[in-house]
A and B are shown apart, each in its own frame.
Chain A
Amino acid sequence: MKKTVVALAIMGFGLSAAQAQEMVVKLGSVAPLTGTISHLGKDNENGAKLAVEDANAKGITIGGKKVKFELMGEDDQADPRTGTTVAQRLVDASVKGVIGHLNSGTTIPASRIYNQAGVPMISPSATNPTLTRQGYKGVFRTIANDVQQGGVLGKFIAGPLAAKTVAIIDDRTSYGQGLADETEKAVKAAGGKIVAREFTNDKATDFNAILTKIRGAKPDVIFFGGMDAQAGPMLRQLKQLGVDTKFVTGDGGCSPEMIKLAGEAIGENAYCSMAGLPLEKMPGGTEFRNRYKARFNMDVQIYSPYAYDAAMAMIKAMQAANSVEPAKYLPELKKSNFQGVTGTVAFDDIGDIKDGAVTMYQFKGGSWAAM
């Protein structure tokens, strides 16, 4: 098989040699481009696309050749099995690096394929701690992981909210449970007491039974690890049960959708966290927002700045190593240290972003306001 590839490569080389020594370097971008969270997936892809276009506009030379980066976008449908199939496709197309995937559930199985093929990957949005703890050398992320986010949430609940007793609910998904567990640890570490630990699922609509039980435990704060589709109705039911305790969720509930679904039940007692800084607080945030809007004619959703920085980290590492070959530029990628849109981009020894920021928001005047 490899022989054909080599032959093709030689042919391709011959062609590109004719075109003024230009070298095409393919990068992959994977995210769910169809389905429930396709708007977030498209956002990721756009972020990476912007970085690639910036690099091309600058005219980068690597190994004496002018480089043209090409972004190959793939759709993983937020499904683990599809994720491995498209990962394979990217590897087949011999991409030199991958920006993605969006969800932890798809990123983890796919990372195994990239690792086997020796292709580095940087996820701009997968927050599950496991991802970088598999011992794979080429796996990175530009966003704070759940341990970091849970830690901030725990400190926030025990600190500024001064909660002594906390009830924790999760939706039994990989995301919700992971975040709830990390938050629980952090609350306990800060001296808080968990008075109720309840569970629901990501398709449920009735939470009255567990909320009634929680009401009996009289917590100072209720934390929910899960998505807005459950958090919204949950707030309504809390209100119907006569509970107006402070309600905290993670980034899954930190959306305009949550505000819509909770209706009149949401108030200033609702808080949420988001990995990363709000766009206006990022060093290059405002400029990024304007350029993004001008280029794609839509607003930044959430993770595109992280995707931009991820792609930039890869390109910069290739420049530093003066090679586009993964084996050559990987050591440089590990050493990344530059000022990106989201802040300083530098990785720790397992590939997590150093000092990943987490911001808390409070519901105020009809929207989430950064605190």
Chain B
Amino acid sequence: MNELALAVPWLGKRNPQAARWLVIALAIGAPLIAMAFGRTWVRVLDFALLYILLALGLNLVVGFAGLLDLGYIAFYAVGAYTFAFLSSPHFDVHLPIWVVLPLAAGFAATAGIMLGFPVLRLRGDYLAIVTLGFGEIVRIFMNNLNYPVNITNGPQGINALDPIILFGWDLSRNIQVTEEVSINSLFLYYYFFLACVAGSIMFIQRLQISRVGRAWAAMRDDELAAKAIGINTRNMKLLAFSLGATFGGLSGALFGSFQGFVSPESFSLMESIAVLTMVVFGGMGNVAGAIVGALILSALPEILRHLAVPVQQALFGHVLLDPEVLRMLLLSLAMILMMLLRPAGLIPANAKYSHIRHLKSKGVAQ
């Protein structure tokens, strides 16, 4: 749990205990604060939680194991489509969420292993480009598998996905507490997603200090040396791919149900890059970094829309740069500048198993 404290660096260093409670309080109180600015911001937070899940998963692969995966969004797609197949009128199957979520995560993990096996021998650049290809292949198949047999409904996507129902309790409906007071469904989703994120964080932190986590760190820092001390790098890589994919699949399933509609255009290469930027921006190899990166960058479009348009209108009288263009500009600059100036990210990882810190402390140049 110590890493959570890093999410508020200025306090985290002095008083991790207090910082941790602050993070938890913020997480619980966030939608109430957001509500003051309008329910839209609660929806933004809901999406942010889904991105946090994605970033956490990708961080396992990129940050912990050092395998650059540019097709990560494919697992998100697998999760979303699994949910769509098993919980929508498309095949008229409506399995309960407790069955669908594990299946979505499981299928995504399987896809992760399927990707992992062939690319075991590849490293660095080659791995990146093959995973990029994998992501595109998955998207193209989802876009075209409506023929000869209609499986994915092609570019039209699948509509009317079931909402999340917990023990007969439909999260997409507002709860009427009294005549006038009701709790909006966005809050219910928020807390459900938050629970998923919290569970994932706990799991990942245990994992990080476990044998597996240390093996990953060893493999990332020097694969040959890791092999020499008896780490089965093949299994470790496969585990990284499949565990990373699991989070992607989970997030995808939640996304499908929350949005109620999935179509291949949500799973483009740009999304993979966006999630990668979140991890890089926040700080590779640590949980707090992934969380902060995902939070900031997923709220960015909405913030830009609120700031960029009025500011530009005030300054130039018309909108010079669309918020979307501005977002792309900031994302690409973030990637470049972070790598050049602050390669450890906004929140550098704990020294213990982090690559960069570790090497720096040893004074090794490379």
* Chain A directly contacts chain B within the complex, with at least one CB pair under 8 Å: yes
Query: A1-B183, A34-B322 known; A81 and B40 CB under 8 Å?
Result: no
Contact between chains at A172 and B265 (CB < 8 Å): no
Contact between chains at A88 and B43 (CB < 8 Å): yes
Question: Quick check: is A19 within 8 A (CB to CB) of the other chain?
Answer: no
Contact between chains at B261 and A108 (CB < 8 Å): yes
Question: Quick check: is B324 within 8 A (CB to CB) of the other chain?
Answer: yes
Chain B interface residue number, banded: 35 or more
Instruction: Name, among B40, B182, B184, the residue most crowded by chain A CB atoms within 10 Å (CB to CB).
Output: B40
Q: Which residues of B contact A86 (CB under 8 A)?
A: 40
Q: Which residues of B contact A58 (CB under 8 A)?
A: none
CA distance A92 to B40 in the complex (A): 7
B89: min CB distance to chain A, Å? 10
Q: Which residues of B contact A84 (CB under 8 A)?
A: 43, 259
Question: Quick check: is A154 within 8 A (CB to CB) of the other chain?
Answer: no
Stretch of B94-102, B150-158, B343-351 on the interface side: B150-158
Contact between chains at A177 and B156 (CB < 8 Å): yes
Q: Which residues of A contact B184 (CB under 8 A)?
A: 1
Which residue of A has the minimal Cβ distance to B187? A1
Question: Quick check: is A173 within 8 A (CB to CB) of the other chain?
Answer: yes
Contact between chains at B324 and A105 (CB < 8 Å): no
Question: Quick check: is B110 within 8 A (CB to CB) of the other chain?
Answer: no
Q: Which residues of A contact B35 (CB under 8 A)?
A: 1
A155: min CB distance to chain B, Å? 23
CA distance A116 to B188 in the complex (A): 15
Contact between chains at A174 and B157 (CB < 8 Å): yes
CA distance A82 to B261 in the complex (A): 13
Contact between chains at A77 and B265 (CB < 8 Å): no
Contact between chains at B172 and A116 (CB < 8 Å): yes
Question: Quick check: is A109 within 8 A (CB to CB) of the other chain?
Answer: yes
CA distance A82 to B300 in the complex (A): 12
Question: Quick check: is B251 within 8 A (CB to CB) of the other chain?
Answer: no
Question: Quick check: is B166 within 8 A (CB to CB) of the other chain?
Answer: no
Question: Quick check: is B38 within 8 A (CB to CB) of the other chain?
Answer: yes
Contact between chains at B43 and A80 (CB < 8 Å): no
Q: Which residues of A contact B143 (CB under 8 A)?
A: 172
Contact between chains at A85 and B156 (CB < 8 Å): no
Chain A interface residue number, banded: 35 or more
Which residue of B has the minimal Cβ distance to A110? B261
Contact between chains at B155 and A92 (CB < 8 Å): no
Contact between chains at A85 and B180 (CB < 8 Å): no
Question: Quick check: is B39 within 8 A (CB to CB) of the other chain?
Answer: yes
Query: A34-B322, A84-B259, A88-B43 known; A105 and B181 CB under 8 Å?
Result: no
Q: Mark A3-29, 1 if CB is under 8 A from B, else 0.
A: 100100000000000000000000000
Q: Which residues of B contact A89 (CB under 8 A)?
A: 38-40
Question: Quick check: is B205 within 8 A (CB to CB) of the other chain?
Answer: no
Which residue of A has the minimal Cβ distance to B39? A92
Question: Quick check: is A134 within 8 A (CB to CB) of the other chain?
Answer: yes
B164: min CB distance to chain A, Å? 14
B72: min CB distance to chain A, Å? 17
Q: Mark B173-189, 1 if CB is under 8 A from A, else 0.
A: 00000001111111000
Question: Quick check: is B233 within 8 A (CB to CB) of the other chain?
Answer: no
Question: Quick check: is B272 within 8 A (CB to CB) of the other chain?
Answer: no
Question: Quick check: is A35 within 8 A (CB to CB) of the other chain?
Answer: yes
Q: Which residues of B contact A105 (CB under 8 A)?
A: 157, 263, 265
Q: Which residues of B contact A82 (CB under 8 A)?
A: 301
B132: min CB distance to chain A, Å? 15
A318: min CB distance to chain B, Å? 24
Which residue of A has the minimal Cβ distance to B36? A4
Q: Mark B259-298, 1 if CB is under 8 A from A, else 0.
A: 1110101100000000000000000000000000000000
Question: Quick check: is B223 within 8 A (CB to CB) of the other chain?
Answer: no
Question: Quick check: is B356 within 8 A (CB to CB) of the other chain?
Answer: no
Question: Quick check: is A112 within 8 A (CB to CB) of the other chain?
Answer: yes
CA distance A89 to B39 in the complex (A): 7
Query: A80-B265, A174-B156, A177-B155 known; A34 and B323 CB under 8 Å?
Result: yes
B323: min CB distance to chain A, Å? 6
Question: Quick check: is A178 within 8 A (CB to CB) of the other chain?
Answer: yes
Q: Which residues of A contact B324 (CB under 8 A)?
A: 34-35, 77, 79
Chain A residues 187 to 241 lying within 8 A of chain B, measured CB to CB, are: 199
Chain A residues 162 to 198 lying within 8 A of chain B, measured CB to CB, are: 172-174, 176-178
Which residue of B has the minimal Cβ distance to A79? B324
Contact between chains at B266 and A88 (CB < 8 Å): no
Contact between chains at A81 and B155 (CB < 8 Å): no
Contact between chains at B40 and A174 (CB < 8 Å): no
CA distance A86 to B157 in the complex (A): 21
Query: A35-B322, A128-B156, A177-B155 known; A2 and B40 CB under 8 Å?
Result: no
Question: Quick check: is B144 within 8 A (CB to CB) of the other chain?
Answer: yes
Q: Which residues of B contact A199 (CB under 8 A)?
A: 144
Q: Which residues of B contact A6 (CB under 8 A)?
A: 180
Per CB-CB distance, the 9 closest pairs between chain A and chain B, nearest first, are: A34-B322, A89-B40, A109-B261, A92-B39, A174-B155, A88-B43, A177-B155, A112-B260, A88-B40
- Contacts A34-B324, A89-B38, A178-B156 aside, 14 further interface pairs with beta carbons under 8 A come to A2-B180, A6-B180, A34-B323, A77-B323, A80-B259, A81-B266, A85-B44, A88-B40, A92-B39, A108-B157, A109-B260, A112-B261, A130-B156, A199-B144
Can you list 9 A-B pairs with a CB-CB distance of less than 8 A? A34-B319, A75-B305, A77-B324, A88-B40, A88-B43, A105-B263, A130-B159, A134-B160, A174-B265
